[in-house]
A = this chain, B = another copy of it.
């Protein structure tokens, strides 16, 4: 189908924020075989919003509108659409209840807000154009569907992660169901890849991409990973499954060791699952990542079952005091060395009392590089009940990117060992 995307917000038209959500939507819709005829970005003005939605409805089969659904005075989308499409605002008490319950737990006003004033703001969220169907009634995010002139219009929040979630979980399946006459069976599979840059993934899979439109490849760099989404369109269930099996095998032949998982499960979840299956416990000793690997591990609910804790030894004194790294190693080999990493991992395993320990020490930059150990040099060690192994990698990019890459590499070293 032909679609159009309308993004709303002064923060976009003033150039303060880069509009990456429209691209995300275009990319996913294109991968599903839809054609995006136009994307427009407009400021917080009811006239412009109304005109843009009407115009989009004229020339497209479906429309996606993002932004302007919040409770503040510059959130004008629902109001503008009510006027432009002649659909009077309709009150949805269940939305107000949901939001109030949420804010009560959150404690938005701390008793200093007059209730009447507060309600006026929040009530906005509950007034939707007549005929609106809330997309995810159970979730704490805005988003609804309106069918006008027999065409679906999806209204999504401008907050990137909410918009992405609704697009993938609600919009794309509903569009697929909407598409009548097309009896093809659609299956998608998301490969999560770590350790290969996007261009290299692309190069290794180029021979699999064809223009017969049976299998579409979509590449999404989600730093530090690359996600590959394939969409298979077979004539029926059997054909679709057969194609999926064929292409899965070919993809694994090309980049198998770098695929760490499928679907939604992240690296930290897979590592956690593997540790839990083995009944093993983990500690970390971090220097250049400052605690990021530990934090990634604890983003998983229930991680206290296997993650005991960590020591962030940013200064050499802490490396000696808390991890027992010998001062002669630090002097002779340096803080960024295989020997220091090994001593850190063994020290963390011993002092925290875990089965496994991972150590990370490196030069994140922007200064501190030497000819021997340029910026981005990161040494790792993995201590297990059977001994210690060390690894050295050279990363590139900003300080921030080196830290993120190093913390994920720590997880991947553990994943491969487990």
Give chain A's interface residues, CB within 8 Å of chain B: 10-20, 22-30, 35-43, 45, 48, 52, 55, 70-74, 102-103, 105-109, 113, 117-118, 121-122, 159, 197-200, 202-203, 206, 209, 216-221, 229, 284, 286, 288-299, 301, 303-304, 307-315, 317-318, 321-322, 351-353, 364-367, 374, 376, 394-397, 399-400, 403
Chain B residues with CB below 8 A from A203, complex form: 113, 117-118, 121
Contact partner of A309 (CB less than 8 A), chosen from B159, B229, B313, is B313
- When the two chains form their complex, are residues B291 and A290 in contact, meaning their CB atoms are under 8 A apart? yes
Shortest distance between the CB of A257 and any CB in chain B (Å): 13
| Total copies of the chain | 2
A-B contact pairs, 13 of them (CB 8 A): A11-B220, A19-B39, A37-B43, A37-B48, A71-B202, A105-B374, A105-B376, A107-B394, A122-B199, A290-B297, A290-B299, A303-B314, A310-B314
- Look across to chain B and name the residue whose beta carbon is closest to the beta carbon of A393: B107
Contacts of A284 in B (CB 8 A): 291, 312
Q: Which residues of chain B have C-beta atoms less than 8 A from A26's C-beta?
A: 12-15
Nearest chain B CB to A337's CB is how many angstroms away?
17
Q: Is the CB of B40 within 8 A of A39?
A: yes
Q: Let me know if A220 and B16 touch, CB within 8 A.
A: yes
- Looking at the assembled complex, report how far the CB atom of A17 sits from the nearest CB atom of chain B, in whole angstroms: 7
Complex interface: chain B residues within 8 A of A200 (CB): 108-109, 113
Choose one: B36, B74, B103, B367; the contact of A13 (CB below 8 Å).
B36
- Contact among B20, B55, B317, B365 for A353, CB-based, below 8 A: B317
**Contact at B18–A72, with CB atoms within 8 Å?**
no
* Alpha-carbon distance A121/B198, docked complex (angstroms): 11
Partner of A74, one of B25, B121, B219: B219
Of A19, A301, A315, A395, most B-chain CB atoms within 10 Å: A315
B39 touches A13 (CB 8 A): yes
Please indicate which of the listed interface residues A118, A197, A291 has the most CB atoms of chain B within 10 Å of its own CB.
Answer: A291
Closest 9 CB pairs of A and B: A291-B291, A290-B298, A15-B27, A15-B26, A291-B294, A309-B318, A106-B396, A39-B41, A310-B312
Chain B: minimal CB distance from A313 (Å): 5
Given the complex of chains A and B, what is the CA–CA distance between A335 and B294 in angstroms?
19
Q: With A and B bound together, what is the CA distance between A18 and B395 in angstroms?
A: 25
Residues of chain B lying within 8 A (CB to CB) of residue A310 = 290-291, 311-312, 314
Q: Whole-angstrom distance between the alpha carbons of A70 and B218 in the complex?
A: 13
Cβ contact within 8 Å between B299 and A291: no
Given contacts A23-B15, A38-B48, A394-B107, contact A218 B74 (CB under 8 A): yes
